[in-house]
Amino acid sequence: MTTFFPRLNLPVISTTLALSIRGRATVLNSLILSKLWHVLRVVTVPLSFFRRLRSIMSKFIQYRSFPPISLGTFCQPIRLGGLGVLDPQVQQAALQLRWLRPLVRSPLSPSGLVPPWFSYVLRLDSSSADPLVPLIFPSLRSSHQRDFDSPLATLLAAIDLLPHNFSDVVVNLPTCLSLPLSYLTTAQPDHPPFPSAWRDLRVSDAYEVDPSFGVLAQRPLHRILRRPIVLHRFFERLYTRSLVLHPVLYRATIPPAICAIQFPSLDMPSGTAVDVRPFLTALVPGIPWHRLSTQSFRLLCNFHSKSARPISPTLVPRQLRRFWSFPLPHGARNVWFRALHKNIPCCSRLDSRIPTAFPDPSCALCSHPLDNQTHFLFQCPVKLSVWSSIWTLYFAQTATPTVLLSGLQSFTFPPCTDSSLSAASIFGCTLLAIWRHHWLFIFDHVPFISSAAFSTASSLLDRLKSELALDFPPL
């Protein structure tokens, strides 16, 4: 693994200039990251490895682009506005399905060569005879299982990436008693969290079965066998509502008849054996484990939901498929994609990101006091003049910022007078021409002349028309 980064930093990044942003994502997934998957399936690597790799991935996709779009956005599925880039940490977790599926199907005697060994190691240092218990609940893992060099490290990390939403899980009383108390209580906002020193406590330390009502009841003080002082503080926090019971434990303290009335959609389980399979099912809602694919696993992981920035206004998958099918030059699609994610480097955005380097949020061309994305693309008078000329020529209509913004965000265009070109192609080529002439003015001090930008847009359209004629010659 130590030789991977030097090879990855070869001039491969500089060779991507002719690719669209989606083409770079395809190259990244299929030609570069694919070298890693076999190794990551069986080798544990530190988080620093993934951080460094993500940095290189981001630079590869956004070569010479600023401000950058978060890698989390690129890792979102294409139907959600991303590029479907495979995050190496999530992909490593998804590859563990090769061992997880047989282990989940038959925890004590899984099929295959490796899963039986995993089952044995999970039970070796655990107080539970069921290997699924430490698999699901991190606090029930031994110190050896938590070690970085543990043979279980990648397997446990894969389970930890799945969303642990157990609000609708219902288990029998013996199962509830066997679970960690820290997992079945929640600290209220603005109150101290569940103390780490209490994390060794089980529900059975604080509660016992009341056979009269078939519920869990608080243990009387004289029947508390472990850490009575700590449990006294725990119950005090419950009474003051700085801690609240998780729905799983709350339902276990309600008589079954009342619980069935309050939660009619939930099946109340019975039995005397510990059974954590309802938690396992909740990890992958709606998908049986034996049908869980690596793609489904990646979609379940909300690993990048916080860093991902959704497209606003929201586009449905059908609209995004249209966007990727538009016949456009690569540069035009790149600019349009950045505009959809509101990531155009207009002066107001640069001023908010790097005020010391860009202290002035006004437009460099017309001195408008606020150069936001809409002004940068459409409202600046010299740029609107280019749009007006194009719109008059190809649509026989007047271009307004509102009409142009609708075309950018929802792909709504008037009928085109030239049947050999699509409206999206005309819009994209004009967008690219304005983009190029803007940066010629910024970096090379070439005056932004509307007629020159119009000529560039026309040249781009003529070239695109010729390329389309080669791909789809007339019959």
Summarised one tens digit per residue, pLDDT across range 185-238 is: 988 888 888 888 888 889 999 999 998 888 899 998 888 888 888 899 999 999
Summarised one tens digit per residue, pLDDT across range 366-418 is: 999 999 999 999 999 999 999 999 999 999 999 999 999 999 999 999 999 88
pLDDT for residue 115 is more than 50: yes
pLDDT band at 268 (very low <50, low <70, confident <90, very high): confident
Q: What is the pLDDT of residue 279?
A: 92
Q: What is the pLDDT of residue 146?
A: 81
Summarised one tens digit per residue, pLDDT across range 7-31 is: 665 445 545 457 888 999 999 999 8
pLDDT band at 310 (very low <50, low <70, confident <90, very high): confident
Q: What is the pLDDT of residue 3?
A: 62
Q: What is the pLDDT of residue 475?
A: 52
User: Average pLDDT of the chain?
Assistant: 88
- Averaged pLDDT, 324-341: 94
Rounded to 5°, the CA angle 412-307-296 comes to 80
Q: What is the pLDDT of residue 7?
A: 61
Strand partners, 243: 187
More confident residue, 365 or 197: 365
Name residue, tokens 């009474």.
Answer: 239
Q: What is the pLDDT of residue 10?
A: 44
Q: What is the pLDDT of residue 112?
A: 87
Q: What is the pLDDT of residue 66?
A: 86
For the chain, the structural domain boundaries read: 4-87, 173-283, 317-471
